[in-house]
Amino acid sequence: MMDKAALYDVIRKPIITEKSTLASEANAVVFEVDIDATKPLITQAVETLFGVKVKAVNTTVQKGKVKRFRGRPGRRKDVKKAYVTLEEGHAIDVTTGL
């Protein structure tokens, strides 16, 4: 069992987009997570921090875009997203702070 401070490092922030709002209708919540986080670690973090039961976790890595910084080409960081499906009867309100 990890301490709460380490679990807050696993889950960075909720992602609130049109697609994540549609996912919330299917009892799922989308989080930006640490790039090295595993599915069992994400499950443990969500269950401990929010007090809910997790049904499934799907992850995806969004590759960083190539952009220009001060006239020179640069690259944004890769971002890992976790689509966390919750058990029936459980919910997380991402509009409020932790």
* Residue 98 resides in a domain: no
**Number of structural domains the chain divides into:** 1
* Residue 91 resides in a domain: no
Per-residue pLDDT at 88:
86
Mean pLDDT value across residues 74-86: 95
| Domain carrying residue 36 | 4-86
* Residue 93 resides in a domain: no
How far apart CA 5 and CA 27 sit, in angstroms, is: 26
pLDDT at 97 > cutoff 60: no
Per-residue pLDDT at 95:
65
The pLDDT mean for the chain works out to: 89
Give me 57's structure tokens: 């976790």
Q: Return the CATH number at 30.
A: 3.30.70.330
1-42 residue pLDDT tens? 677 888 888 999 999 999 998 988 889 999 999 999 999 999
Judge whether 53 and 87 are in contact, CB under 8 Å. Answer: yes
* Residue 97 resides in a domain: no
* Residue 95 resides in a domain: no
